[in-house]
Amino acid sequence: MSHNTALGSPPHVTAISPSSIIAAGATTITITGGHLSPSCQLDIPAALGTVTGPGVYTATSSTVGELAFPITALAPPGSPATRVCTLSNGGMGSTGAAVSVLHQEWDPNLIGSLVVWLDASDTSTIAETGGLVNSWTDKSSNAHVFTQSYTANKPTLVASGGSLSAQHVRWGTGGGFHKLSAPSVGFTGNDGGYEASHMLAVLSWDTGGTDYAVLMRSPVPPYVTAAILHDTYGVAGYEGGWTNTDGALVAKNTKVLISLSVSSAGMTARINGAQDGLVDSTTTPVTSGTNTLELGAQDAGKWTNLEIGELIHCDQPLSAGDLSTLESYLNQKWSIW
């Protein structure tokens, strides 16, 4: 059987995900439990949004499965609100855990270790001339300003379309070498002598003249942070030397959410909310410090080819709870998976 409904048995709920709806737009509410089937119905309050389709059932064992309902969420209210939903099948209400979610405003500034937050959907943070980006201001409390004074090296603000299907900043248009940089970006995170950090980015990439694309880096020691996407190695980072995470390759010309954390335990890469690669050992410890941070870079005459929608960088690896919330926030906002 494709599901485990027992005649006359109400659906039994053990978990609901996500626990919070933190942005307007298309998302999914997933119910985990027993006696679930596509005939189950999810009703949500009008203040939360609308259910846009039937539940899709996936069995995880002979008795337990997941039922995913697509919804269109409304913008969260000014104060957090618990939205009580109902799950039923043939008029029988669910048993077990409460079917409710927290509906609340949230943004990355609620994360204490936030260093940089760049958001291409917020036009007020981008200064451009004829579509060429002069500066992009970080929305964290640090308010770092990433700039480029040379016209030929300026990335492009794209109002819509591309692989992200939304406003983004584009590197590599016409095969050009484009870069934005901000001086004096401080990374104080330290874990057993190793620079500690966590970067997430909503992007699309292509090789564009080389076998990799530099997402971000610091150009001179101390190399406080760096991340690249590579044709052969997938997501790679820097900790005393370039290290790949031995994960899957990142699809090109496709909207993805990339995550790369660095600590004394090594580097962990995630793609679209799932762990993709892990380096269990590290190389030479790196002293944290203050340095120029570059987005995009040239190497041996080759250029970065990227669309960036949003980039967040913290100076500590995120807790499991913060990472889950941040991935959910970015997924809901950019409709990634």
The 10s digit of each residue's pLDDT in 237-255 is 765 556 666 666 788 889 9
Same domain assignment for residues 44 and 66: yes
69 in any annotated domain: yes
* pLDDT score recorded for residue 6: 47
Same domain assignment for residues 34 and 180: no
Which domain-ending residue is among 103, 128, 147?
Answer: 103
Question: 42 lies in which domain range?
Answer: 12-103
Which is higher by pLDDT, 211 or 280? 211
Which is higher by pLDDT, 182 or 129? 129
Same domain assignment for residues 173 and 40: no
Closest CA to 69 of 107, 95, 99, 104: 99
Indicate the pLDDT class of residue 1, thresholds 50, 70 and 90: very low
152 in any annotated domain: yes
Give the integer Cα–Cα distance in Å for 46 and 333: 20
Which domain-ending residue is among 88, 103, 118?
Answer: 103
* pLDDT score recorded for residue 232: 73
Least confident residue range of 91-105, 157-171, 259-273: 259-273
* pLDDT score recorded for residue 250: 82
Q: Coil, strand or helix: which one is 91?
A: coil
238 in any annotated domain: yes
pTM exceeds 0.85 = no
Which is higher by pLDDT, 218 or 192? 218
Same domain assignment for residues 94 and 191: no
2 in any annotated domain: no
Supply the CATH number for residue 233's domain: 2.60.120.200
37 in any annotated domain: yes
Same domain assignment for residues 98 and 118: no
Least confident residue range of 148-152, 155-159, 204-208, 237-241: 237-241
5 in any annotated domain: no
Q: How many domains does the chain have?
A: 2
Which domain-ending residue is among 51, 78, 103?
Answer: 103
pLDDT tens across 33-48, in order? 999 999 999 999 999 9
Which spans in the chain are helix H? 320-334
% pLDDT > 90, the chain? 45
Least confident residue range of 79-83, 122-126, 232-236, 291-295: 232-236
204 in any annotated domain: yes
* pLDDT score recorded for residue 133: 96
Least confident residue range of 66-80, 202-216, 221-235: 221-235
Which phi and psi (to 5°) does residue 39 adopt?
Answer: -80, -10
% pLDDT > 70, the chain? 80
Supply the CATH number for residue 99's domain: 2.60.40.10
Closest CA to 122 of 106, 134, 110, 138: 138
Same domain assignment for residues 87 and 118: no
Same domain assignment for residues 170 and 270: yes
Same domain assignment for residues 305 and 273: yes
Interval 144-166 mean pLDDT: 92
Same domain assignment for residues 279 and 164: yes
Same domain assignment for residues 240 and 295: yes
Same domain assignment for residues 99 and 141: no
Which is higher by pLDDT, 88 or 305? 88
Same domain assignment for residues 25 and 172: no
* pLDDT score recorded for residue 12: 97
3 in any annotated domain: no
* pLDDT score recorded for residue 5: 47
Which phi and psi (to 5°) does residue 320 adopt?
Answer: -60, -40
Interval 208-219 mean pLDDT: 68
Give the integer Cα–Cα distance in Å for 310 and 116: 10
* pLDDT score recorded for residue 88: 96
